[in-house]
């Protein structure tokens, strides 16, 4: 099975969906932040391992605690995944922190700040021109 085959893509999506449900509803570890989302999942073609990219809303300490909580709950999540998804092998889960959502939010905020500054400057420039025209008359 190739890495980017349709079957592998479907397995990735199914594992991601099930892990999202398991983490949000079944996992009782207090270290895991309730605002944790599974961004992506890459299951190896041999179904032995899976890289699970997780995004956590919160500070860096909360992200570290959530990743350690997920790593300690990996065996529980793997056994539940085996019950829910019928695969030849249930992959060993490796959790990786993903900053892409936080990065996107920060970039969006920076863009909003720049556009607000541009609108402010253009408004001030237009008001300055209007004042200059009234003085000429």
pLDDT (tens digit per residue) in 108-129: 999 999 888 888 888 777 777 7
Phi, psi at residue 103, to the nearest 5°? -65, -45
Choice between 67 and 2, residue whose per-residue pLDDT is larger: 67
- pLDDT value of position 134: 57
Q: DSSP states of 52-109 as a string?
A: EEEEE-S-HHHHHHHHHHHHHTHHHHHHHHHHHS--SSPPEEEEEE--HHHHHHHHHH
Q: What percent of the chain has pLDDT over 70?
A: 91
Question: Above 80 in pLDDT, residue 133?
Answer: no
Q: Band the pLDDT of 92: cuts 50, 70, 90.
A: very high
Mean pLDDT, residues 70-93: 93
Residue found under tokens 């008359």:
137
Q: Band the pLDDT of 3: cuts 50, 70, 90.
A: low
């Amino acid at each position: 099975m190739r890495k980017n085959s349709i079957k592998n893509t479907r397995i990735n999506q199914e594992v991601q969906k099930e892990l999202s449900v398991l983490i949000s509803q079944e996992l009782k570890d207090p270290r895991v932040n309730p605002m944790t989302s599974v961004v992506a999942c890459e299951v190896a073609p041999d179904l032995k391992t899976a890289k699970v990219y997780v995004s956590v809303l919160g500070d860096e300490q909360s992200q570290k605690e959530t990743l350690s909580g997920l790593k300690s709950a990996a065996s529980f999540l793997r056994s539940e995944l085996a019950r829910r998804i019928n695969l030849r092998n249930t992959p060993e889960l490796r959790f990786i922190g993903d900053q892409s959502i936080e990065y996107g939010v920060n970039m969006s905020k920076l863009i909003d700040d720049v556009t607000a500054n541009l609108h402010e400057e253009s408004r001030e420039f237009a008001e300055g021109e209007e004042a200059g025209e009234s003085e000429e008359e």
